[in-house]
Amino acid sequence: MIASFLSQHGQYHDDRYFRDITTIRMGGHIRHFVLPNTVDDVREIISFLKHNKIQFKVIGNGSNLICGESEFDGVVMCLKNLDSYEIQNDEVYVEAGVLAPVLANVLAKQGLSCLEFASGIPGCLGGLIYMNAGAYKGSMADVVKEVLVLKDDELVWMSNEEMKFSYRHSVLHDHPHWVVIAARLKLVRKPSEVIEELMADRLSRRRQTQPLDKPSAGSCFRNPDDGYAWKLIDGIGYRGYAINDVSVSEKHSNFIVNNGSGKADEYLQIAYEIQDKVKEKYGIKLVMEVEKFNC
């Protein structure tokens, strides 16, 4: 019944693993995986799942997820097919499945500024909005005008203020079954060459300072107030620390990387050890930025 319904509303698969769809390349089998083709498909699927009390998880590019090795006996719905955008004067309407680097480059070529800070973040717009992603002192809270959210089976435009953005947080964390469908972002006109030069400089800095050559889920921990997580991790001697095929990056110690066949429980063991030792030595509780699922 589930497979038949999902097949009518998107691209359905029963042979997907979390390791196939997350940037850390870890995780077990997914019983049902679907990519809805339209916003109406998303509404129909979620209504069906809620009515039948079926567990589900909505994802984008899987760039901020650590998923367990056991089978998830529910539905994973990926929004990457919701990938349209439309520039409207000083705004852009963008669906949740558009990759941030793709949109940033399109806007840059047209002399439109707003997403330079996100040009190196390998996530979809829905995920960036969910966690108020940021870099280089910029964040989604700075550029979002309003967000189209599917909540309680209704599509509702929510203002920037209603999203309750804060550091790596939005109102969506308090309502896990609300789904970002699209957003309007505020644009500023600048010369294309200025935008592209800034983005190229930041990409170069990322390549020099982050382990982009290995699977990761991005920064493992949020930065504490008035400090940097990587400095605390260095302070407890965990740069390069490894459990089997999972290790703290030698290049940037706030990244935990998969060196081949790493498992989620190994990743989490390292993360929990870091939290305990930082708390013991510095009295600071590091908060994980990475989202855990099915762990």
Calculate ∠ Cα 116-59-62, nearest 5°. 65
Name, in order, each residue with C-beta under 8 angstroms of 169's C-beta and a sequence gap of 6 or more: 131, 132
44 is annotated as an active-site residue: no
219 is annotated as an active-site residue: yes
Rounded to 5 degrees, φ, ψ at 215 are -60, 130
Name the DSSP class of 124: B
Task: Judge whether 185 and 85 are in contact, CB under 8 Å.
Answer: no
Query: What are the Cα distances from residue 185, in Å, to 157, 193, 262, 287?
Result: 13, 21, 37, 28
The identity of residue 47, as a single letter, is: S
Of 19, 25, 168, 184, which one is the catalytic site residue? 168
Of 219, 247, 249, 253, which one is the catalytic site residue? 219
Task: Judge whether 178 and 156 are in contact, CB under 8 Å.
Answer: no
Task: Judge whether 137 and 223 are in contact, CB under 8 Å.
Answer: no
289 is annotated as an active-site residue: yes
The region that residue 195 occupies, defined by phi over 0 for left and psi between -120 and 50 for alpha, beta otherwise, is: alpha
> C-alpha dihedral over 49, 5, 22, 291, to 10 degrees?
0
Of 116, 146, 266, 289, which one is the catalytic site residue? 289
In angstroms, rounded to a whole number, what is the distance separating the alpha carbons of residues 187 and 161? 18
- Catalytic sites, residue numbers: 168, 219, 289
